[in-house]
Structure 1
């Protein structure tokens, strides 16, 4: 029993930066995206994937146990230091050439627009793109380098040990007790005007928004703080908007590539 507890504690505190939204969150984003794609894009994407966007969305997390895909680890997030103004974030992204979610999303979009791309490569790149767009709407994936995107901010969630990153990856979503299709149905009720506005935003804006939300999330907790009902009440609207934006942004991107 002691060994099992120790292993659980180790799992909770491991710096798993690449685990964004968890399976449920990624499927919610994917389901919302597919419901907002053009028929042409939807058909092409289904042909490439051989499954729904929602079911393909977790593939990059599933392959992490395979050493052949170890190079993907840094693709899932970007770390930005504390205290950056919007202009500084935008400037950083414009000049960025490192391996992270921002540079790789742009790379994948560019590659997927190439007609001559082999089917196997196209399928892999599309699976990764779907996942990364979900990742960057989880605010802690645009968190601070010194705490590994909130992984080192230890907390308690309903009396169980956790950290700020894990709380936003999965626990806050799972607390709503909805399946991914139910959750997508609840959220997928925005206006055409709002969809148009969100899909007109550049990719850099997605990262800026997540960075600004992450700043507020850091300020909203203290290390080892015990969180429960009130935290959900205070943050569920932000959670839901980020899931919805992730789906709408992904739909716009896939319509652009395949529409």
Structure 2
């Protein structure tokens, strides 16, 4: 099993430049590292039985790496990373739209994977894969443009320049804003993870639907302030850096809450 993962990881690093990854390598690892720091003792022990000695951050990007697999074995998982929803006026409208979505998506699969992990009939292999996907997809949930709009593929069709380089809005939020801070993922996780216990509990409060709506509202703000052909540089970093860091922290804390509840 591990040899298969290793081969896919090698292939992924060779071809990773062709993909637009949610949060990029650093972002997903930051979220996983923050989550690791907030696991309960029981959750930590149970996860170790499933995952082995590697930390959550080790596996955080695997569901993106397997996009490099040319066998088609993971083709169905592509739609699991996002849920497209037109702008909604309030939570009730959002929730109705969310639950009416057809097919597998970020929302449905987080629930499916959670159920698979809890089901004692799930094989050891499938439980590990489900947990790896769950770690990653809870990170996707906190990237606002993964709760974006179908018409532009979550910002992928919105062309912008970032410090003079041609790119798209989704890519800016996937990695460029995070990477511009020049921290390692462990440094960034440590710098962000400074909330009090009461603040952590407040951030972790709510349902999966609440958390998705939280990202959806931020996505609407991003769309409103980043029209097509925008020229982005230091002013954009200044405007949205705090939001980006909030989402990394919230993603990690909410992932921890979900894992603690599962185990």
TM-score by length of 1: 0.90
Q: Summarize deviations over 1:17-65 as a string: whole Å, max 9, x none.
A: 6x21011100000000000101221122122112111111111011112
Which of 121, 138, 144 aligns to 1:139? It is 144
Which of 139, 149, 155 aligns to 1:150? It is 155
Q: Alignment RMSD, CA only?
A: 1.6
Deviation at 1:238, TM superposition (A): 0.5
CA distance in 1, matches of 2:227, 2:258: 37
Deviation at 1:83, TM superposition (A): 4.4
CA distance in 1, matches of 2:187, 2:113: 30
Deviation at 1:222, TM superposition (A): 2.5
The residue number in structure 2 matching 1:23 is 25
Q: Is the 8 A contact 2:163 2:233 kept in 1?
A: yes
Gaps of 5+ in 2: 1-15
Corresponding pairs, count: 245
The residue number in structure 2 matching 1:214 is 219
Q: Is the 8 A contact 1:78 1:142 kept in 2?
A: yes
Which of 33, 38, 41 aligns to 2:40? It is 38
Is 1:75 the equivalent of 2:77? Answer: no
Deviation at 1:173, TM superposition (A): 0.2
Q: Which runs of 4+ in 1 moved over 6 A?
A: none
CA distance in 1, matches of 2:199, 2:102: 32
TM-score by length of 2: 0.89
Is 1:54 the equivalent of 2:41? Answer: no
The residue number in structure 1 matching 2:4 is none
